Amino acid sequence: LRKTSIQAPAPDEPIIIVGGGLAGLSAALEALSRNAKVIIIDGEKNLGGNSAKASSGVSAAETSTQKAMGIEDSRSSFFKDTLSAGDHENNEVLVNILVDQSADAIEFLKELGVKLDDVNLCGGHSTPRTHW
């Protein structure tokens, strides 16, 4: 999650976020940290989106948790594994963004109090990198 320079709307103009999954809630937290008013619109009764259904965890490479556990991983390996799992039909630009920002995403979640203290080897990965 790279910080970008954005200007918050006028205080009386809310930011409308469509979707209450991990991405939408992350955007809402970022906007709130900049003192913006936020409205989240979601089609479901409960927030969480597909993120709430993810039962295996969040995959990332070169994280502090992996390093603390002695797990050697690389962005290059994560990139190759992701392309392979997608039968090389993936959009490589988007896979690069996913891989390059994955460790920052884990740190962002941990700073919010999400406990991601364990790392497992899950299907499609050549190295333990799924944090849960």
Are 25 and 67 members of one domain? no
Q: Which tens digits make up the pLDDT trace of 116-125? A: 999 999 999 9
For residues 46-58, average pLDDT:
83
- The pLDDT value given to residue 16: 95
Query: d(Cα 56, Cα 132) in Å, to the nearest integer?
Result: 7
Are 37 and 49 members of one domain? yes
Are 19 and 2 members of one domain? yes
Residue 61: count of CB within 10 angstroms of its CB: 24
- Strands (E) located in the chain: 15-18, 38-41, 58-59, 119-120, 130-131
Does the pLDDT of residue 5 top 90, yes or no?
no
Q: Where among 53, 71, 86 does a domain terminate?
A: 53
Are 30 and 47 members of one domain? yes
- The pLDDT value given to residue 1: 59
Question: What is the residue range of 2's domain?
Answer: 1-53
Are 63 and 85 members of one domain? yes
- The pLDDT value given to residue 9: 63
Tell me the pTM. 0.78
Q: Please, what's the b/e burial string for 76-107 (b: 16 or more CB within 10 A of its CB; e: otherwise)?
A: ebbbebbeeeeeeebeeeebeebbeebbebbb
Residue-averaged pLDDT of the chain? 91
Are 12 and 40 members of one domain? yes
Are 43 and 78 members of one domain? no
Q: How many domains does the chain have?
A: 2
Are 63 and 89 members of one domain? yes
Q: Which tens digits make up the pLDDT trace of 61-95? A: 999 999 999 999 999 999 999 999 999 999 999 99
